[in-house]
Structure 1
Amino acid sequence: MKNLLKSAIIIAVAVFSTQLAQAQQKIGHINFGELISSTPEFKNAQEQYKVLQDAKTKELQDMGAAFQKKQTEANDKLLNRSEANKATVDAELQAMGEELRTIDTRIQEVQRLAQEELGKKEQELFDPIQKKVLDAINAVAKEKGYAYVFDISGSQIPYFQGGDDLTPDVKTKLGVVAK
């Protein structure tokens, strides 16, 4: 009977320790922003995005300069208006006013289209990088047996203490040389 009781206790302890070990899941953390910016593709994507952004900015600045020039011309005409040329100048000012409204509408449209184009380009350039990094995070977490991996680069986790930093492992998985 004593042997049966000892065996039952040993079995119970073994089952309890197995369940306790399973309940203690590994938790790790990464810095997603650092991982993204450390990839070689990120710098290239950033440069491509900046080239497009600069081109759109220049286009809008040129249109703004044309608008300013036309507005200055209209103001000069208004200042040089007299009773003798009032009818002619008023007709010219009306035409210039219509032209200014057309230019302004065109600027707003170009600005809207530029924002759309920049948004699409951003997705096109950065979404594959994010996917690559997420795939590497998932692979490292699975390889190392982590149940949870938190991103500490955002403000969603106001406090964390401990846990393993998997950022260097993910960088290695991505082929990024640690700095």
Structure 2
Amino acid sequence: MRRIVLILMVIAGTFFSIGDVAAQRYAFVDMEYIMSNIPAYEAAQEQLDQQSQRWEQDIQDVYAEVEQLYKKYQKESVFLSAEMKVQRENEIIDLENAAKQLQRQYFGPEGELMKKQQTLIQPIQEKVSVAIREIADREDYDAIFDMAGNMGVVYVKPRQNISDDVLKQLGLSN
């Protein structure tokens, strides 16, 4: 008898969990489409592109100077003393290192472009995220996914987060 009750409970639990899955509501958004239709985003992107081109030109100018110094060095090297050769070589190396440093300063992971991007783009992205959350709450969506694939899951109701349950299962509950 106990066994039958246990089997019935398992079957009932399965049906209830299937019902829960069927009741979940999902939606998709195309973040690229949304962002491309926001004039402020387009303006910010244009500003970033222009700044990026200016910085790229600055870096190219330094590399052109490096190339010019190197060509001059090659032409004059037969006439230079060993000490002068070392001095010119160091000058070329220093200028090349300065160009690389400038490149990192502008385009590195924590460079000027990233900072400017955060300043200009992040507020727009936050507004979009708030709008998505509001729609998800109003329309009772459990999760919203990005069709463009850039962001994956854009929104998930907190009740869908089972992280604490996983920690508990692992014996690591907080």
**Scaled by the length of structure 1, what TM-score is found?**
0.65
**Alignment pair present for 1:75 and 2:71:** no
Measured on the aligned residues, the alpha-carbon RMSD in Å equals 2.3
In terms of Rg, which structure is larger? 1
Give matches, 1:82-121, under 5 Å.
88-115=80-107, 116-121=111-116
- Equivalent residue, structure 1, for 2:170: none
Report SS of the residue matched to 2:85.
helix
**Retained in 2: the 8 A contact 1:26–1:145?**
yes
Structure 1 92/29 Cα, relative in aligned 2: closer, same or farther at 3 Å? Answer: same
Cα distance between partner residues in 2 of 1:69 and 1:61: 12
Q: Which position in structure 2 is the counterpart of 1:49? A: 48
Deviation string, structure 1 residues 74-120 (Cα, Å, up to 9, x no partner): 00012xx3xxx5xx543432221121111112112111111211111
**Unmatched 5+ stretches in structure 2:** 1-18, 154-174
Using the TM superposition, give the Cα deviation of residue 143 of structure 1 relative to its aligned residue in structure 2, in angstroms: 2.1
Q: Deviations over 1:130-149 (max 9, x none)?
A: 11111111112222222222
Match of 2:121 among 107, 126, 137: 126
Aligned pairs for 1:1-179 within 5 A: 24-78=23-77, 81=78, 88-115=80-107, 116-154=111-149, 156=152
Listed as ranges, the gaps of 5+ residues in structure 1 are: 1-19, 158-179
User: Residue in 2 aligned with 1:160?
Assistant: none
Displacement of 1:60 after TM fit? 0.4
For residues 35-84 of structure 1, the C-alpha deviation after alignment (integer angstroms, 9 at most, x for no partner) is 12221111111111012101110110100011011000000012xx3xxx
* Distance in 2 separating the partners of 1:43 and 1:102: 39
For residues 28 and 125 of structure 1, what CA distance do their matches in structure 2 show? 28
Q: Which has the higher contact order (CA 8 A, sep 6+)?
A: 1
Q: Is the 8 A contact 1:77 1:93 kept in 2?
A: no
The count of residues paired between Structure 1 and Structure 2 equals: 131
CA distance in 1, matches of 2:147, 2:100: 39
